[in-house]
Structure formats: structure tokens, C-alpha cells
Structure 1
Amino acid sequence: MDWGSILSQRMSRMKASEIRELLKLLDQPEIISFAGGIPDPALFPVEDYQKALAGALTGEAAAVSLQYSVSEGYLPLRRWLAAEMGRLGVVCGVENIFITSGSQQALDYLGKLLLSPGDTALVNWPTYMGALGAFNAYEPAYLRLNGNLGAAEVRAEAAASGGRPKFAYLSADFGNPTGETLDRAGREQLLDLATELDIAVIEDGAYQHLRYEGEAIPPILALEQARVGSIENCRTLYCGSFSKTLAPGLRVGWVCGASAAIQRLVLLKQAGDLHSSTINQIATAQVAETVFAAHVEQLRQVYGRRRSLVLEALAREMPEGVTWTRPEGGMFVWLTLPEAIDGAELLAHALKHQKVAFVPGRAFFADGTNGNTIRLSFSLHEKPAVDEGVRRIGQAIREMMARPA
């Protein structure tokens, strides 16, 4: 059977995730990895989940936990999330919350919901490669959101691609891969542009709770609600996740937005996987209700310290010509290398000679440019590994810089 001969056209746009492939390196103990944005498993609230799962499987509760459930999601979890969104400044009800199998599924559903072939998505340059992977299947064109394009230019570019602009996607807080945050003025300007274009805004809030310094900025959805009143009048769809705060393996995420959009996402869920895991939702609801705030504070302390260690090591070890971001939160630092150095080539060299891993930057650009960039994740390592790993990266960069032209 020649499977290649019968594949759909969209499959030509689907590529393997460089991060998923790099995760395999974690099984090699001699390699210091700054690759995947992986929460530290030592910080998982294991005992709390053990209690929650045991309770969910005890007596009559098991009949609910192991049964089919509604596509919208487990009601007590949606209630907790509606209250949590309220703490972030978004006034909403359970009808505005939709549970997904991780926020990655939310991005896939939103691409399916909004994109026809040839339509335009506005994304940052660079942006989260998982979002590009989710949207690529629906055959969009991409425009640079942080490229200062006006509404008329966006419309013209979109028309030239054979479609119309449909949404702007971004992570406003400590975005993957750069770790940078969009300030309040930038968020307001984005809302102005989206309103003029009459498009949706997809706000990826995966790292919302992981702020280590600086003053918190309201989510875009909260700023828009302050403008228009009811969430039912908002064009912003907020995608959240427990993957970076509680545990990624349970795959529990959510979308918060106008009920008209939520109802349509429910139809996609019914046609896709019916509903997210019932028992995982029940356990997550229990853990969130009991330990979320205290657990997130612990994560802020640990990850904030590790971020500082990486920034200090970069200042010591990086050769002249290398620059990097200084994030106030999240899990990532973004390095820009001298133009002659390609991040993928650097990775191959560093793995072979220095036994250190990171993510090359090219995959985070919709057009595959800017190869002289890399992403480091600081979530896993304390000072000895950070110091040694960053030293090795600096050594690899110097060796690449010393190559004959």
C-alpha cells in the first residue's frame, strides 16, 4: 500500500515537532537538556492527585468517573474555572467555559472552527510552533502580527492569499518561545486592530500564572470585557491549561469566551472525541479546589530562581554577538546568535561534542526564516546543571564562530 499516494493535501503541511523529537534525549543521562518546556516532575502534586483519584474510584463515585460525560466538560471544574477567570478579571459563567484535552486541542479546534483554506492568521514572528502545527492542517496564510501592519494592509495581503483575515493568535504573557510579554498598550492596540478587521483574538494563557517579577497585566479578554461589558460581546477566546501548573499528563485545558463560540466548539468536540477524560477532569477539579493557589506559589519560587540562574550563567558564558531575552515569567529564554550560525547546525554540533540540547529557533517562524536563534527552557535544572549546561552552549557557539568562512 502506497499511503503517500492517497493522503490529503493538508498532510503536506504537517511536520514532526522538533520538540517532541528532542524529548527523546531526556532518556540519555549524559545530556543536559534545555529543550522541551517540561514542568519539573518533582513538583507535581502527586499526593493530592492520589487522594483525588482514589476518591473518584470509591463507591458510587466510580460510576461517574468511569462513565461517558457531557462534551462541555465536568460541571464542578467549569465552575472553578469560571471563578478563576473572575480572579483574572474576566466575569463569566459556566456557559463560557469549555473543557479540552489540553490547550493544544483547543488550538486545533479553533483552527478548524475559523479557518478555510487560504484564510489568513496573524501570528507573532516567532510564535509557538504547536500553534503553527495546529493551524497548518487548515491551510492558512500567515501574516506577522508584530510587524506593525495596519488593517488595510492586512486586508490586502489576505485577499492576495485568496481568503480573509480570521484571527490573531498570541501568548501575551511570557510567550513561547521568547518569554516576552505584551504590555498593556500593546494589548489595547491589538484589540483596536481586531475590532477594525472584525476578527477573533486567540489568547494563549498557558503561562499566565507563572510570573516571577513585575506587575501583572490583565488578560486581553479582561481588557476587552472592560470595553464592551458582557463577555458575550467579546471577540477574544482565552485558552488555558493545567499542564504548566498542575500536571501535563492528564491533558486538561479550557477555552473561555462568548457562549456563541463555545457552543460551536462543543459541536467539534462531539464529532472529535466526545469529551475529555471524565476521571481526569474530576481529579483536576478536586486538586484545583484544594491546592492550586499554594502550589502555583511554590512553582513561582522554584522556577523564578531557576530563571535567574540561567540569566546569570548566560551573562558569564555567552560570547560577544549573542543576545537574549530577560523574561519576567514562563519557562523560556530566547537567544539570537550571530547571523552566520544556524541553530539546527549548532544543536547537532552541541549534541555531538558538548552533550547539551536546546531547541533551534527556525521552527517557531511561520516562514521558516531566522535560523540564527535558539530557545532554552529553564524549568528543570538547578545551579550545577545550569552552570555546566550554559557553559557547554557557550563553548559550542565559540567553536561554530571559529569555523572558516
Structure 2
Amino acid sequence: MLDWDHIFATRSSRMRASEIRELLKLLERPDIISFAGGIPDPALFPDVAFSQAYAEIFSGPQVNAALQYSVSEGYKPLREWLVGEMAKFGIPCGADNIFITSGSQQALDYLGKLFLSPKDTALVTWPTYLGALQAFNAYEPNYDQLTPGGNRTPDAYRETAAKNGGAVKFAYLSADFSNPTGETVDLQGRQKLLELADELDIAVIEDAAYQHLRYDGEAVPPIMALDIARSGGIENTRTIYSGSFSKTLAPGLRVGYVVANSSIIRKLVLMKQAADLHSSTINQIAITTVAERFFEEQVAKIRAAYSARRNAMLAALARYMPVGTSWTKPEGGMFVWVTLPANLDGAELLARSIETEKVAFVPGQAFFADRSGANTLRLSFSCANEAMIEEGIQRLGRLIRNAEAKAA
């Protein structure tokens, strides 16, 4: 048999299976209560609206264009709709500042490719979105810990990167209801991050996948909005905003977008031309149709549903978690982050849970670039109803108490 390993590129050694994608297989088991997959509830998809949109495409004059090759920048009416949406968040821009991707995951891959040479440093939070680590890993970077609002000096970051053989290229974070912690960076933290980026002369990648999913609390301006306000316009910004329709309309259509200054957009368009030419034309047209007619109504519907589930999970955690266990209290998004007693391991707990309590979650270690955080785990409330949340968290509390007793 041919031994492929010796001809694979060195980057292939950094490719790992997504622990979350593997856990999604548990959703098919009816005996498992799953808090693992950070995915939207399919019962909330606007399926009727999409059915009508596709029917109109196939019965109207757009059908040939919908089935044809298209421009790499993305469907212009969709980009124009996004111009109006960005303005609501304090991000004035034009259609030429918007680039359509095949999901926001493709945007992260392109941005890693654009900025990272082997041994360069990406600043990421500890923990951070696992999909971002997977996207960036292919370009063989080092990682350093980003603490928005922290006091670490630019020189300290610069010196560490140089010792590792490269330079700091960007800071990546999800500032609102982050995956995995559900936490939000406050205004001061966002401003200090921009100051750090100025000192290091690096890009800021703002992952805004959950921007529309605020349930309570005061909204904080996006980092890009702050950047525009202080720099005088989007063409002067160092922030790159990555958004998606996956959490609001439908993830299966794989439509995401990047908002940035035009020089960044031009580079991304060249990457798109080389990779897959353009995102699905017909899906972009369908997304545009549904967004123009139903976006606000759809967002209101999912906010109401997810807010009730978040409330149910936080209440259940307060009732059933043993002393010594703590958790975040997110104002939006899909996740609660749990910190276990230091002597417990999330991965070991999951293996025991599947066998005994039949509850699935994601061990937190997967979200740390340095593979620390063994005593943490991520819970998603998006696909569980309130009765499942009550029962599942009660089982999880029992599991943790039993694990503590055995470890004592």
C-alpha cells in the first residue's frame, strides 16, 4: 500500500477532526439529550419562505442567471441589502466593501491564507472558536493569548512572535456572545483592542456570527463601527467584519459575507476566483429574497425562542450544579460555558456521561490553542426544548457530583 504521509504537505499534520462535528453524530441517538452542537433549531427555519423563493426563481426570468456562473464578489442585490443592514450597526459602507463567501467558515480560511505565513502569530482568545483554529492551522501559525481589555504590552506580543520565528499578523475574536463562552467584550475592551492593533499595526478579524442574537442588555457597537468612527471611514479601517446567515436564516445554504476596506475585498476576490469561482448563485438569490421580505420577522422569532431556552438553562444550572462549578450568563447567542472543579476533566466526564447519564456536551479543551482548559465544557441551548434542558442539566449536575466524589 502506498505510504502517503511522506508526500503530504507539512500543513496536513496540523489538520484535526472537529470534536464538535464528531459529537453531532450523537444527535441521531434518541436516548441522548444533546447540548453539544452549536447549531440552529431546524424547527425555526423559514422553510415556507424559502420554498416560495425557489419556486419564484424557477418559474421566473431569473432562472437562467440563477443556474449560471456568476461574479466572484457575490450577487449584487444581496450585497446592496447588506449595506443597509450594516448601517443599522453603525457601519456605513458600499457594495464594493462586501464580499459573499460560502459560509463564514470560508471567510476565516481565506483570511488565514491572506495574512499568515508559516511561524507567524495569530492572537486569539483563550478559549476561542474551534472552527477558527481549524481554518488558521492550515497556514502553520503560532498562537498567542489575546485578552481584550488586558494590560499586556505590544512589545511583549512582538517579542514573543519574533522568538517564534514570525510576526504578529492579526487579532481574531468574536466580540458578541462568543462561541464557546457566550461572553461579550465590553466597550472599553473593544477600544483597547483597537489601540493594541494600532501599536502592532495588525488587522482585527471580528467574527460577528451571533450579532443579531441579543436577548437582553445594552448593545455594544461592533469593533468595526468603533474603527470607522475614529478613522473617518471604512477605507481607513484595519477591522475585517465576518458575518453569516447561518444563525438567522439557514446554515445549509452556506452564505456568509465579509465587510472590509476595498483593498482587502480585492484580495479576497482573487482567492475566490482561484478556489471555487463564486458562491452558489441560486442560494444567494434565495437568501436575498427571504431577507428582503422576512429578515426582521425571522430574527424576532428566533430571539424569542432562544431567549426562553437560555433562561431555562441558566435557571436549571442554578438549581442543579454543585458548589465549586461556575458558568457564564450570556446576554445572547447559543452557549453557556461551564468551569468545573480543577480536578475534573471535561473529556473524561463526557465519556462517562454518554454511558451513564446520556447527556452530550463539548469538552472545553478543544477551544484552547494550547489545549489547556481541561476542566471546562460548552453547553448549547439552541436545539433543546425547556423540558429537555431541565432534565439534561439535572442529569449533568448529578454526573459532576458523582465525579467529584470519586475524585476525592
Aligned to 2:20: 19
- Per-residue CA deviations over 1:197-242 (Å, capped at 9, x if unaligned) read 1000000000000000001111000000000111000000000000
Structure 1 equivalent of residue 179 of structure 2: 176
User: Is 1:9 matched with 2:6?
Assistant: no
Helix, strand or coil at the partner of 2:92: coil
- Of 340, 343, 347, the match for 2:346: 343
Q: Does 1:357 align with 2:360?
A: yes
Q: In the alignment, what sits opposite 1:61?
A: 62
Structure 2 partner of 1:253: 256
Give deviations 1:30-89, integer Å, cap 9, x for gaps: 100000111010100001000111111124311011100000000000000111111111
Alignment of 1:150 with 2:153, yes or no, is yes
Selected match of 2:205 from 202, 206, 215? 202
Tell me how far 1:10 sits from its aligned partner.
Answer: 0.5
User: What TM-score do you get using the length of structure 1 for normalisation?
Assistant: 0.99
Amino acid at match of 2:227: E
One-letter amino acid of the counterpart of residue 31, structure 1: I
Match of 1:28 in 2: 29
Which AA in structure 2 matches 1:16? Answer: A
Distance 2:179 2:323 in 1: 25
Residue identity in the other structure for 2:215: Y
What letter matches 2:171 in structure 1?
A
Query: Residue 308 of structure 1 aligns with which residue?
Result: 311
Deviations along 1:126-146, one digit per CA (max 9) or x if unpaired, are 000100000000011111111
The 3-state SS of whatever aligns with 1:57 is helix
Aligned equivalent of 2:215: 212
Which runs of 5 or more residues in structure 2 are unaligned? none
1:226-305 correspondence to structure 2 within 5 Å:
226-305=229-308
For residues 279-321 of structure 1, the C-alpha deviation after alignment (integer angstroms, 9 at most, x for no partner) is 0000000000000011101111110010000000000000111
Is the CA contact 2:343–2:407 (under 8 Å) kept in the aligned structure 1?
A: no
* Aligned residue identity for 1:64: A
The Cα of 1:158 is off from its aligned counterpart by 0.7
Deviates more, 1:56-65 or 1:197-206: 56-65
What's the counterpart of residue 376 of structure 1? 379
The answer to whether residue 28 in structure 2 is matched with residue 44 in structure 1 is no
1:294 is aligned with what amino acid?
Answer: E
1:26-175 pair list within 5 angstroms: 26-146=27-147, 148-175=151-178
Q: Is the 8 A contact 2:104 2:244 kept in 1?
A: yes
Letter in 1 for 2:388: A
Runs of 4+ in 1 over 2 A off after TM superposition: none
What SS is found at the alignment partner of 2:184? Answer: coil
**Paired letter, 1:75:** K
- CA distance, structure 2, for counterparts of residue 202 and residue 293 of structure 1: 26
User: TM-score normalised to the size of structure 2?
Assistant: 0.98
Amino acid at match of 1:185: Q
Find the aligned partners of 2:206 and 2:50 in 1 and give their Cα distance. Answer: 28
| TM-fit CA distance, 1:149 | 1.9
**2:398 maps to 1:387:** no
Report the Cα offset of residue 161 of structure 1: 0.8
- Superposed CA RMSD: 0.8
- How many Å separate the matches in 2 of 1:101 and 1:229? 30
Deviation of 1:404 (Å): 4.5
Report the 3-state secondary structure (helix = DSSP H, G, I; strand = E; otherwise coil) of the residue aligned with 1:345. helix
Equivalent pair of 2:346/2:374 in contact (CA under 8 Å): yes
SS at match of 1:24: helix
